[in-house]
A and B are shown apart, each in its own frame.
Chain A
Amino acid sequence: MDLAFSPAEQAFREEVRAFLDAELPDDLRDKVRHRRELQREDYLRWQRILHARGWIAGSWPKEHGGCEWTPAQRHIFDEESHAADAPPLLPFGLQMVGPVIYTFGRPDQKEYFLPRLLSGEHWWCQGYSEPGSGSDLASLQTAAVRDGDDYVINGQKIWTSLAHHADWIFCLVRTRKEGKHQEGISFLLIDMKTPGITVRPLVLMDQGHHVNEVFFENVRVPVANRIGEENKGWTYAKFLLGNERAGIAEVAWNKKLLQRLKEMAADTPASGDRLLDDALFSRKVAETEVKLTALEYCNLRILAAMQEGSPPGGEASMLKLLGSEVTQAITELTVEALGYYAAPYEMADHAPGSNWSPVGPEAAEGVMGQHLFMRAITIAGGSSEVQKNIIAKMVLGL
């Protein structure tokens, strides 16, 4: 056991830092720092820069275009990226469907999809949830009926994140109605330009457009776009969910948010004092930091175990639970730090040249919106209640 980073790992940190200094565009940094909404092109620009450096897929095997970084290297890369206010990498392609394709896909699927996924040519979204099937995902109803070399798809997905940006959607569809729910599901890759697909925006409580409804009306999808076997989609989906959860602790991002909270509290006047000197407030910040530290070391332990080959099991649910709780605690405290200045809520006009400025201190920008949107992280990707059910069943045998 050893917590220290090796000289090679420290050298890697220097390398990452130098790269970010040189390559991360100032305007992207600025947007992230001010918690402004990133546009499609913002994400893609950063993806292309990382791709050019060969650093777009830290955890992927080298043979598929990844870096095969160790957990420590991934940790270092995340930490430095967030510290520098780099845009986040969206999980739908890189963490979700990519590993499914290279693990279960045919050679021609790997050859076609993986390079395009890595370069950003294909933007992926995740079509799992349906109006009647959220926590009970296996009950999904979107039907795929064989017709020659095609499946004909009819049904509806909901909560599809950033589907309005997407080129491709990976979907769970029902290919068999009889028998156990889990045993009649297939995993399909669908081109969003296929006739019969309609994307409709859903506005969330922060008034932002992050998620959508996606409707399928007689959408023809080649059978060749199926991953693996028919009716085995649940196996691939579970593999994917395990991967999703492993990446979800967001330790580095939480560290950055916490650091910014402390800076803000040090700058916030509280009737003669600094807010950070307020005993009740600083206690809550300290409690959150302790929780984050515990999460950091849980995360490293579990990543190391995964590296050694143990599959992401119930422990990964713990990371998701803790990570989302820490993020919510930080965004709540950040709102609280602003006092009355959390209230002003204008949908900012950030068009270049606009002279819009935040109401109150500069650091107030985007804080309430981020807090409101982050209420979703204990719901999406398997709610906290469902994660606890998983731990109770898989880890504790209850």
Chain B
Amino acid sequence: MDFNLSEEQQLLKDSVDRFILDDYDFEKRRKTSSTDDGFSRDNWKTFAELGWLAVGLPEEYGGFGGPIETMIVMEAIGRGLVTEPYLPTVVLGAGLVVEAGTEEQKTEILGAVAEGNCMLAFGYAEPTSRFNLADVTTKAEEQGGGYVLNGHKSVVYGAPSADRIIVSARTSGGVRDRDGISLFIVDNNAKGVSRRDYPTADGLRASEVMLENVEVGADAMLGAEGAALPVIEKVVDRGIAALCSEAVGCMEMLKDETNEYLKTRKQFGVPIGKFQVLQHRMVDCFIELEQSRSMTYMVTLKLDEDEKERRKAASSAKAQIGKGGVFIGAQSVQMHGGMGMTDELKISHYYKRLMQIDTMFGNRDWHLKQFAALTQ
């Protein structure tokens, strides 16, 4: 057993941490997050130059590293509350291509992702699916050697800036059948694709993606027809691990900031950290963070185990992170008093991100139910 980083991993960590510290201060982040894109394309170029967009991709396509490297990058993304669409592009989009893509698809897409020339998004949710990845009503019908897509994908993070959107669609079977789901790579500006773009409460960008008679070639299909669900689940579990790492970064930042505030804010002639109720609350935050970090290591190291072990790891980690993140977020606001309510302090922004992290890929209730079913 070893929880230490290798020398190369430590170098990667130093490099992302330094970038967040030196080049991603909160005021800069506030500015870029309020532009139309909601992020900075210059930053994206820097990410490419520093190699972070190649993390987790196979070496033959210019990539390096695996889940641990992704964890390192995502934790820094959490600390900096980074708005660049790293998760949709590198972890989800490229992850699906790595898992299921043909040689041509990999060659075409992965290199471009690593170089910063291709952004991706993944549309898996629909208005009535809630958190069930198998609940797919979007249809793909064969026509003239290709497919015609019709459907509505909801709250697709990263879609406004994506070059291509990967969507799940049904090629056969009933609405919630595990079989019959396929993946398609769709050009964002293809005929029949329309979007309603919007900012999200956590300062990112997402879209409703409407597909109306979108014609794609057979080469747009990612993986085998009708067999996409296991691939989706595997990549979403990687997404969950990445999200857990991001959450740990957010929680750590909140813990540090709030701890510092308790030492400096004075009421009744003493630092408010002298009040035992706040000491104990801070201890609870610290313990939530430590549990969340441990669960993040656990799921990260179990991503390549068999399906049942992997899913158990992902659901248990996500349930802990959802609870811990929202707790630390809400308590950080509370312990900052009125200041915690402001848009000016970063505290509330981290809280809002942690709320979305609890929801993304299924909230705490959803994952508790998955975990219960897997461990009965």
Contact = CB atoms under 8 A, between A and B. Distances in A.
Interface of A: 129, 132-136, 139, 158-159, 202-205, 207, 211, 268-272, 275, 278, 280-281, 335-336, 339-346, 359-361, 368, 372, 375-376, 378-380, 383-385, 388
Contacts of A343: 155, 200-202, 206, 356, 359
A207 to B, nearest CB: 6
A271 B365 CA distance: 14
28 contacts: A129-B338, A135-B267, A139-B267, A139-B268, A205-B351, A205-B352, A269-B128, A271-B130, A271-B131, A275-B130, A280-B365, A280-B368, A281-B365, A335-B355, A339-B363, A340-B155, A340-B359, A343-B359, A344-B198, A345-B199, A345-B201, A359-B198, A360-B154, A368-B201, A375-B333, A378-B334, A379-B338, A385-B278
Contacts of B175: 272
The main secondary structure of chain B at its interface with chain A is mixed
A270 to B, nearest CB: 4
B57 to A, nearest CB: 28
Contacts of B150: none
Nearest to B368: A280
A135 B337 contact: yes
Closest 5 CB pairs of A and B: A205-B348, A271-B132, A345-B201, A269-B128, A340-B155
B334 to A, nearest CB: 6
Given A136-B268, A203-B342, A376-B341, 19 more contacts: A133-B267, A135-B272, A139-B267, A158-B338, A204-B342, A204-B343, A204-B348, A205-B351, A269-B128, A271-B130, A280-B368, A339-B130, A340-B359, A341-B127, A344-B201, A359-B208, A361-B127, A379-B338, A385-B277
A380 B338 contact: yes
The main secondary structure of chain A at its interface with chain B is mixed
Nearest to A383: B337
B369 A280 contact: yes
Contact of A346 (B128, B199, B344, B359): B199
Given A204-B343, A343-B356, A360-B154, A385 B268 contact: no
B301 interface: no
Given A134-B267, A202-B342, A341 B154 contact: yes
B3 interface: no
B289 to A, nearest CB: 20
A379 B337 contact: yes
Interface in B258-298: 266-269, 272, 275, 277-278
A375 B269 CA distance: 26
A135 B154 contact: no
Contacts of A378: 334
Nearest to B196: A359
B340 interface: yes
Nearest to A342: B359
Contacts of B120: none
Contacts of B127: 269, 341, 360-361
B125 interface: yes
B29 interface: no
Contacts of A359: 196, 198, 208
B323 interface: no
Nearest to B277: A385
Contacts of B337: 134-135, 379, 383
B206 A384 contact: no
A271 B200 contact: no
B84 interface: no
Best-surrounded residue of B135, B267, B277 (most CB of chain A within 10 A): B267
A268 B128 CA distance: 8
Given A343-B200, A344-B155, A368-B201, A272 B334 contact: no
B105 interface: no
Contact of A336 (B267, B334, B356, B363): B363
Best-surrounded residue of A271, A339, A343 (most CB of chain B within 10 A): A343
Contacts of A368: 201
Contact of B268 (A135, A202, A342, A375): A135
Interface string B334-376: 1001101111100011011001100100010100110000000
Interface in B122-159: 125, 127-132, 135, 154-155
A46 to B, nearest CB: 26
